[in-house]
Chains A and B, each alone.
Chain A
Amino acid sequence: MRRFALLGFVTFAAVLSFAGLAVAQDKCLTCHETIEDKPSTLYKHDIHFLKGISCAACHGGDSKSEEIEEAMDPAKGYIGVPTGDAISQRCATCHSDPEKMKSYKSTLLTGQWEALQESVHGKLAISGKEKIGQCTTCHGAHGIVSAKNPASPVYPLKVVKTCATCHADASFMRLYNPSLAVDQLDKYRTSVHGARNAKGDANVAECASCHGSHDIRPVKDAKSSVYPTNVPQTCATCHSNTEYMKAYNIPTDQFEKFTTSVHGKALLEKKDLGAPACNSCHGNHGAVPPGISSISKVCGTCHALNADLFSTSPHKKAFDDRKLPECETCHSNHAIVAATNELLGVTKEAVCSRCHSSTENIKGFAVAQTMRSLIEELETSVAHASTLVDEAEQKGMEVGEAKFKLRDARQARLQSRTMVHSFDEEQFREIVDKGLNTATTVAGEADEAIAEYFFRRIGLGIATLIITLLAFSLYWYIRRLERHQSKAG
């Protein structure tokens, strides 16, 4: 162990000596140190200083010359303090050159400047002369340290404040995107991620974890890591990583379950942007799991009618008393599948039967049984009417009006599924009866159309028979007439 400590000390001393040697040759620093200006003071802690990179690498000029006029001679490439895009371009001379980076034994990826130019921060600033963001905007200038160094402004515990420098500044953000909220940091601090981050956990998600760093794109950009269809995968980067999540003791199957859910299929397979992603229920910057009593409100942001009906139903109190999560109890959370009739009723698979039986909570048992039979009756009637309409249409009959009415019957079927959440038999029956009546009318009209189809064929048969008889009579008459004419003449 001592041997290792000694080796470490020797290596550290060697690095410093090398840096010192380089610095000894850097006359820029020698002079600036004497005047004790801020850049030279900061630069001594800079990772570039430690790598032996002189001031001239960014500012140009001759760092070996002791003569100020010669050292800062524009003819020798001196550019002074770079401004605008020239800042990032100076950084890119090394950071976009893999060979150069290799020579400094760096394991950093290259191409940050290229990524930045493609990003939302790479758009032109209001001056119209430079990009909105430069490397120094986030990394600082003379005191740059590794992103893994807690002193770095892009270190996970600090990056949220670095981003907030601009993003929490309403007057600044108004210049570029007035509709963009400026309370991300405040919300973040209310989230599980933000709370842990504030306590010093550098492993929880911060801005860059979800939005990326150099390649940040607007949320509406399909290539953005936070574009609705990409959000689940972005969250899963950490939340599906069992090793990573071990410390937090939370499940890691959310993404897997979500992909099989009705929401996941709509979002990821059908690319339906109206379908919810993780952030739709959990929030994004203020991400927390919804509380037991607020689930119906969260689901209700989309399923408004269902939520309202549930909130006014007797189940609301019953669920709250038993601390049952509202929608989730029957529908599950990440693995929500399309609600089928099997969920309703008193059969083994039905969720109602978990609490209601013929001996316990009897009233609900009877209502569930009736609702199931009514909804099945309605579905059968709508399907029957639909089949008849299809048949009539296939036979070439005009059934536009019946098809239009069929939409009402289907609508009633949908409404009845929503009305289940009232758990009120009377209200439910009203909707079902409306649907049943419409389906019966449609089926009657389709039946009539089919009967009309056969009537037309029979009619045609009779007409053809009459016409054929007439034609034959006429033919016979012509023959007879011409026979008479030829005899006569």
Chain B
Amino acid sequence: MLWQKLYKWVDDRVQLRTLVEFLGKKYVPVHRHSVWYYFGGVSLFLFIIQVVTGILLLLYYKGSEELAFESIQFIMAKVPFGWLIRSIHSWAANLFILTAMVHMFSVYFEKAYRKPREITWLTGMLMFFLAMGFGFSGYLLPWNELAFFATKVGTDIAGVIPVIGKPIMIFLRGGEDVTGATLSRFFGFHVAVLPGIFTVLLGIHLLLVQRQGMSEPLGMENSPPAEKKTMPFFPNFLLRDLLLWLIVLNLLAILAVFFPWELGVKADPFASAPAGIKPEWYFMFMFQTLKYIPAQIWVIDGEILGVGVFSIAGLLWTLIPFWDKKSARGEQNRFINYIGLFAVIYIIILTTLGWLS
């Protein structure tokens, strides 16, 4: 058959057999929490979708104050299937952050960050922050009213950080205000800087996952090998991954057709901000928290306190493999579960409140 001939042709040159044998010997643990393993793969799939649709959008998008909005309008109305590509890009971006978030929390609750997977966790967390950066920078690119003011509010918040806040804000905006200069650099971050760093981190992350295999839940490690259920990574797990990817692809198509991503009205820097400016949903819990914090707490500015607390919490969360010694020793750590549970409930409640307000 043609397929076998082609395989042999490649195998003769690059020894594909070795790779297939390696993958064939790689096993994925099977247990009642195995379902969470798939979220990493789905996130990867959505990232690939982002790259492909992003490159297609780049063929027509023009990153300038005068042309950005009109170029998206052109993509949506004139470019064949432009509407589909843009809507999929927008929907996949949101689903990507959602699945990455689920993946992060599943890893957290499974304590999969413990030795020897600290670097995998670190690269994953950095990628998660970069994904939020992708979202923040990409949101401005259509240069519409909502995006313009949301970026203004978002960068204003960065500006409240003492000492370094103002320079960061000016660096992000390319000046004192959100202007065409902000759009240009956000475009640069979105299509060059962030993807470059992300690709390196993703390479390390995937390499480590392949090298170290999937983490087993605490307690399962010590079970006798006979009692451990596993499944070959190739082809069983990979085929299941593919099946899920197909379903996600179909979901994306449905979302793009029934809920095409709106473009809104072109940003007017001289207009007053419309009512109800809200950030993207993944920033909502932080934004809503800042709204609830009083303007002044003792001698500290409320906003600075809020930003400070979130920064410290984010840092502690990222560095968890280094301070959760109990899990590293293979012992159960309920404290970590309670923190995680609190974080999940907090995010859900504050996001809902922000959505309703």
Contacts and interface: CB of A to CB of B under 8 A. Distances in A.
Interface stretch (A67-75, A93-101, A185-193, A393-401): A393-401
B246 A471 contact: yes
A244 interface: no
A398 B254 contact: no
A467 B252 CA distance: 12
Interface in B60-102: 73, 76-77, 83-84
Contacts of B259: 396
B132 to A, nearest CB: 28
Given A457-B257, A460-B253, A471 B243 contact: yes
Interface string A104-121: 000000000000000000
Interface stretch (A219-227, A333-341, A474-482): A474-482
Contacts of A460: 253-254, 257
A468 B247 CA distance: 8
Given A471-B243, A474-B243, 10 more contacts: A398-B77, A399-B77, A457-B257, A460-B257, A464-B254, A467-B247, A471-B246, A471-B247, A478-B243, A482-B236
B239 A474 contact: yes
A464 B248 CA distance: 11
A397 B217 CA distance: 49
B165 interface: no
Closest 7 CB pairs of A and B: A398-B76, A398-B77, A460-B257, A467-B250, A471-B246, A474-B243, A396-B260
A482 B263 CA distance: 47
Nearest to A482: B236
B257 A470 contact: no
B242 interface: yes
B250 A468 contact: yes
Contact of B77 (A400, A475, A477, A481): A400
A398, A401, A457, A474: residue with the most chain B Cβ atoms closer than 10 Å: A398
Given A398-B73, A398-B263, A401-B77, A478 B250 contact: no
Contacts of A456: 83-84, 257
Interface of B: 73, 76-77, 83-84, 232, 235-236, 239-240, 242-243, 246-247, 249-250, 253-254, 257, 259-260, 262-263
A141 interface: no
Contacts of B243: 471, 474-475, 478
Contacts of B246: 467, 470-471, 474
Given A471-B243, A481-B236, A481-B239, A464 B76 contact: no
Contacts of A304: none
B236 A478 contact: yes
A478 B246 CA distance: 14
Contacts of A478: 236, 239-240, 243
A362 interface: no
Nearest to B259: A396
Contacts of A399: 77
A471 B249 CA distance: 11
Contacts of B73: 398, 400-401
A396 B262 CA distance: 8
A474, A481, A482: residue with the most chain B Cβ atoms closer than 10 Å: A474
Interface in A441-489: 456-457, 459-460, 463-464, 467-468, 470-471, 474-475, 477-478, 481-482, 485
Nearest to A445: B77
Contacts of B249: 467
B16 to A, nearest CB: 20
Contacts of B76: 398
B343 to A, nearest CB: 34
Contacts of A481: 235-236, 239
A407 to B, nearest CB: 16
A397 to B, nearest CB: 8
21 contacts: A396-B259, A398-B73, A398-B83, A400-B73, A401-B73, A456-B257, A457-B257, A464-B250, A467-B246, A467-B247, A467-B249, A471-B243, A471-B246, A471-B247, A474-B242, A474-B243, A477-B239, A481-B235, A481-B239, A482-B236, A485-B236
A485 to B, nearest CB: 8
B232 to A, nearest CB: 8
Contacts of A475: 243
A475 B247 CA distance: 12
A290 B271 CA distance: 44
B259 to A, nearest CB: 8
A456 B242 CA distance: 25
A463 B255 CA distance: 13
A219 B298 CA distance: 53
B249 to A, nearest CB: 6
A463 B254 CA distance: 10
A399 B83 CA distance: 12
B29 to A, nearest CB: 16
Contacts of A400: 73, 77
A485 B30 CA distance: 16
B3 to A, nearest CB: 15
A478 B263 CA distance: 42
A316 to B, nearest CB: 46
Contacts of B77: 398-401
Contacts of B262: 396
Nearest to B243: A474
Nearest to B76: A398
Interface in A194-228: none
Contacts of B253: 460, 463-464, 467
B219 to A, nearest CB: 26
Contacts of A401: 73, 77
Nearest to B250: A467
Contacts of B242: 474
Nearest to B232: A485
Nearest to A464: B250
A399 B78 CA distance: 10
B166 to A, nearest CB: 38
A251 to B, nearest CB: 48
A305 B243 CA distance: 69
Nearest to B240: A478
Interface in A319-353: none
A249 to B, nearest CB: 55
Contacts of B254: 460, 464
B15 to A, nearest CB: 24
A468 to B, nearest CB: 7
Nearest to A474: B243
A468 B242 CA distance: 13
